[in-house]
Amino acid sequence: MLNGDTFFDVDLKQLEDFHLQNKSTCTLALKKMQNVDRYGNVEVDEAGKIKAFSEKKFREEAVINGGIYCINRGILIHYPVNTPFSFETNYLENKPQAKNIFGKIFDSYFMDIGVPEDYQQFQKDHSK
- C-alpha distances (whole Å) from 39 to each of 22, 47, 66, 91 are 26, 22, 10, 18
What is the pLDDT, as a whole number, of residue 41?
95
The per-residue pLDDT for 52 is 93
pLDDT tens-place string over residues 23-54: 999 999 999 999 999 999 999 999 999 999 99
* pLDDT one-digit tens code per residue, 86-103: 888 888 988 888 889 999
Please tell me whether residue 109 adopts helix, strand or coil conformation: coil
pLDDT, residue 128, reads 65
Q: Which CATH number does 7-125 carry? A: 3.90.550.10
The DSSP code for 81 is: T
Whether 121 shows a pLDDT value over 80: the answer reads yes
Interior/surface letters 38-66, b for 16+ CB within 10 angstroms, e for the rest: ebbbbebeeebbbeebeeeeebeebbbbb
- What is the residue extent of each domain of the chain? 7-125
Q: What pLDDT, in 10s, does the model give residues 76-90?
A: 888 888 888 888 888
Residue 56: alpha-carbon gap to chain centroid: 14
Q: How far apart are CA 62 and CA 15, in angstroms?
A: 20
Instruction: Give pLDDT, residue 109.
Output: 93
List, in sequence order, the alpha helices (H) in 11-101: 12-21
**pLDDT tens by residue, 18-27:** 999 999 999 9
Residues 68-78: what's their mean pLDDT? 90
With beta carbons less than 8 A apart as the criterion, state whether 42 and 69 touch.
Answer: no
